[in-house]
Structure 1
Amino acid sequence: MESKINVGIIISTYNNPSWLEKTLWGYLYQTRPADEIIIADDGSKEDTRLLINSFKDKLPIKHIWHEDNGFQKSRILNKALIASQSEYIIFTDQDCIPRKDFIATHIKYAEEGFFLSGGYFKLPMNISLQLSQEDIATGNAFSLKWLKQQHLKYNFKCTKLIKNSKFNQFMNFITPTKATWNGCNASGWRKDMLTINGFNEEMQYGGQDREFGERLFNLGIKSKQIRYSAIVIHLDHKRPYKTKESIAKNIGIRKNTRKKNIIETPSGIKQLHSNIPNQVIT
């Protein structure tokens, strides 16, 4: 794909400026910089706003915020999508630090009629806490040799960090993991996202990203697997917002999306255009 394409990054965040800072460090060292970075903030406090402001002279950041009203990630992602101006959008999270070739890799594989499905390599809490800006800038944070020196336990998932294009393409091809829409590392064309009316705001934690991808499939968009090519390292954290009720509700919505071949969610961007309450854009 032509590298002149305008590419935006949408990063979801909620009250974790320490992790967000490490993630933003990763975007300082991209071989292909983003044209815009939109922070989709689901109601964080003042310390997050101050952190984001500290990066505004270094990165093309726009901060989209609304008041804290529980887990409303789908809603803030829709607001960020409305605010975006790039034709191609990469979605990720506050806890996913990109390797220096992350944006370039997404652009390399971008193709009309497709979305890209990446994954992450999860770090334990002790290494997550100790990562410095220098570790990210030098690439040590993505080096298996260095991570082993920090007492990372080796397992098969460590193969994601092997940087060899032929090996990466082979692993993308043989992996049994389906190329679904994964909010931590996925990308596609903004026009396709608007066609399906963005994210379903009835959904809270658990599968809302997958449902978004399922509607892209229903639209006729196909997917490409790049989990071994577009690399982010995932910082450890707890998930207090995960509930059995939200999981069960979302399973029902996804089942209905597949059964009825739904393309456009009835609870998405079109509903936002007429009324976007308690939102701040800086």
Structure 2
Amino acid sequence: MAAALLILTDFFQAANRALNYASNLAGAIGGRMVLLHVRRDSVLDPEMFTGQLSCRSQEAADIALHSVAGNLAVPVVAEVGYGQVAYAVADAVSRHHPALIVLGRPDYSSLPDELVHTTSLDILRTAPYPMLVVPHTLASTQPPRRLLLAVDGEAFSLGEHAGAARHLLAALGAALTVLHVATTPSETEVDPAAWSVLQTGLAVDLPTQVHTRTVVDESPVEGILQAARPEDFDLVVLIARPRSFLGQLFHHSVTAQVLLHSPIPVLVLPATE
């Protein structure tokens, strides 16, 4: 069966941009799509205060959802979920087993990071799963051709998601650059970082040689964002270890900060340790 992409939509600009991106991505890898709209009517929902919730009636949402699905060029199933998004997504994942969860990143520029409550971070904490986050500012929704994979040099395993990640990278046929952010000039050895990627088999079926790059920065976040420029790369890939998304300082983790500020789409691959 073709790989599925689970797309979250609330009919806002960010979700529409992510939908276009996911549709092109599914077409490039021969995949199908599951379009999920989650009804979030609780007055206690944090995003009720940021204007990020759709106020459509259920009937209007159903009509809009099926209208969107009918205009897509790839096979698609449309569903409506209820309650908290993270749990609705976990339920959809358990039934459809997608290769990726895809969602848009709204405009949070007017809010301090400390006040930003994002769906992507909730999903990572509730049910860690490969996730692609598309910024609302993205200019092109074409499939990525230049990937930047940021690693810390430590060994990692993607567990049950390794096969899907390998298939995705191979199907894209994109050029891959492994990035290591060194905190001091004396730590600029790239080989351990590249080796940690090669050990996972992620690069086995890639059509081109894996390149390596090192930047020196005291802040891993700033180092990644410095390298992940739209003129150089189309997608940044992060390896998220459990300690980065399960701790109480989750919103201050490298994963969270890159998700919030990257100018290009971010693919998060949860590691098993």
TM-score by length of 2: 0.35
TM-score by length of 1: 0.34
Q: Could you say which structure has the higher strand fraction?
A: 2
Q: Which has the higher contact order (CA 8 A, sep 6+)?
A: 1
